[in-house]
Chain A
Amino acid sequence: QQQVKQSPQSLIVQKGGIPIINCAYENTAFDYFPWYQQFPGKGPALLIAIRPDVSEKKEGRFTISFNKSAKQFSLHIMDSQPGDSATYFCAAANYGGSQGNLIFGKGTKLSVKP
């Protein structure tokens, strides 16, 4: 059972464009929504995260938009650069419980063309 649905599977944008990656979740108990960035041959690394008490969080060129009623959240990358080319994973967890483990989406492979 897939609890976090991520789209699109792949995305190609020109340098300076604003790629948007979307995720939808089912479990209303989720209370933590991170995004991880993975470069080829490497493990994922935490990029940015949000909790459901805010609708937006920005860190540098990366912004998470969160819609609690729709159970959706998205990652926007402003002024994208070739160095942003990577696979991005959204995830969700219920850390209000005794042991919350992250549930990951299937990933989006982003290519930023120079």
Chain B
Amino acid sequence: SQTIHQWPATLVQPVGSPLSLECTVEGTSNPNLYWYRQAAGRGLQLLFYSVGIGQISSEVPQNLSASRPQDRQFILSSKKLLLSDSGFYLCAWSNGVNNEKLFFGSGTQLSVL
């Protein structure tokens, strides 16, 4: 069966510090991978998606970047965090053939202070 791992679960970082959140998927190959951010009252905002290794599409301009160094690994990064980067970050995957169903990880609560 397929599983998605996302870590860490919580993270408190000072403004200006770097960020690296990692997500891995097991039990499937060539998945589509996604990073979402969930802010209070703003729903789920798609940040990045990837259909393959090294292929990253950005949905919104921002202080963050994403990379996909391996087929089932997706990384969200920042060189210098801003206060506005605080939020609940969710990684998700979907079957590359049938994109309809998204499977979400358990999320990372990021607080930038």
Interface residues of A (CB under 8 A from B): 6, 9, 32, 34, 36, 41-46, 49, 89, 91, 93, 95, 99-102, 104-107
Beta-carbon contact of B100 and A34 below 8 Å: yes
Known: A43-B92, A99-B51. Is A107-B102 also a contact (CB below 8 A)?
Answer: no
Partner-binding segment picked from B11-19, B37-45, B68-76: B37-45
Which residues of chain A have C-beta atoms less than 8 A from B42's C-beta? 106
Instruction: Provide the bound-state CA to CA distance between A95 and B102, in Å.
Output: 13
Interface residues of B (CB under 8 A from A): 6, 34, 41-46, 49, 51, 59, 90, 92, 99-107, 109
Known: A43-B106, A99-B51. Is A32-B100 also a contact (CB below 8 A)?
Answer: yes
Least CB distance, B56 to chain A, in whole angstroms: 13
Least CB distance, A30 to chain B, in whole angstroms: 13
Beta-carbon contact of A44 and B43 below 8 Å: no
Beta-carbon contact of A104 and B43 below 8 Å: yes
Least CB distance, A57 to chain B, in whole angstroms: 14
Closest 6 CB pairs of A and B: A43-B104, A106-B43, A104-B44, A104-B43, A107-B43, A43-B90
Instruction: Provide the bound-state CA to CA distance between A104 and B43, in Å.
Output: 7
Known: A101-B46, A101-B49. Is A46-B41 also a contact (CB below 8 A)?
Answer: no
